[in-house]
Structure 1
C-alpha cells in the first residue's frame, strides 16, 4: 500500500527536481568599516554546502584585508538558514564564529550575516551574491564592525 501511494505521488508531481550542487564557491571583494574605526578592503573566498536541504547551509570563508599599509587575515564559519524567494533569488540568515589574524594578535568574534544570491539563468551555471554582516569581538575593547562582501557564485557539481 505504501509503495503504491509513493509511486502515485511521484507520478502526480511529474517534475524532476534540479540537482543540488555539491558546493558553491563565492569569489569576490570585501569592505569592512569599524564602529568607530578604520576601514579596510580586500579579496574574499568562501565555500558553502548544504547538509540539510532548505534548513541548513554551512559556509567557510577567508579574506585578506588591507588598511593603513598593513594587512590581516580573517576566517569565518557561518551556519545559515536558507529561504527561496523565487527561481532566481535566494536569501539566507547566518551566524557563527569569526577569527582575525594580524601582527597585533588573534581576535575572536561573533558574526551575523545576511546573504542574497541571484541566479540570472535557469541552469544556475553562475550567479551573484551580496553579503552584509556585523561582527562583535570578544577580546579587550570589544571591537565592532560592519562589512559587505560582493562577488561571483560558482556552483560545483
Structure 2
C-alpha cells in the first residue's frame, strides 16, 4: 500500500471508473416504443435538458419587449431594440443549424426578432416625425420672421408719415 493519500483514494474508487457508464451504449431493440408524455420527457430537447429550459427563460425577454409596446417611443432605446432584433434573427437561423434542432428555441428567437423589429420601427418612425416637426417649425419660423419684418416696416412707414 502506498503512503500517498491521493493514490489510495484513486485506487479505492478505481472499480467505479470501470463501469459500463464510460462505454458506448448500444440501443436495445427489444425496448417498447415510448408514446405521449414519456416520449417528450425523454427526448433530446425535453425538460431534462438545457435545450428546454433556456427557451423557457428567454420568453421573459420577449414578454418584457412586448410590455414595452405600451411605452412611448421616445422612452425606448434604439440600440437595445436593434440588438434584440439582430439577436433574434441570428439565433433563429442558428437553431436550424445546430443538433439537436430545437424548434422551441427557434420560436422564441423568432418572436424576439418580431418584438425587436416592431420597436425599432416605432422608434425610427417617431424620430422621423420629430425631425419633420422640427424642420416644419423652422420653415414656419422663417416665414413668420419675414412677415414680422414686413409688418415692422409698414409700422415704421406709418409712424414716419
Q: TM-score, normalised by structure 1?
A: 0.25
Give the structure with the larger helix fraction: 2
Higher relative CO (Cα under 8 Å, sequence separation at least 6) belongs to 1
Give the structure with the larger strand fraction: 1
Q: TM-score, normalised by structure 2?
A: 0.24
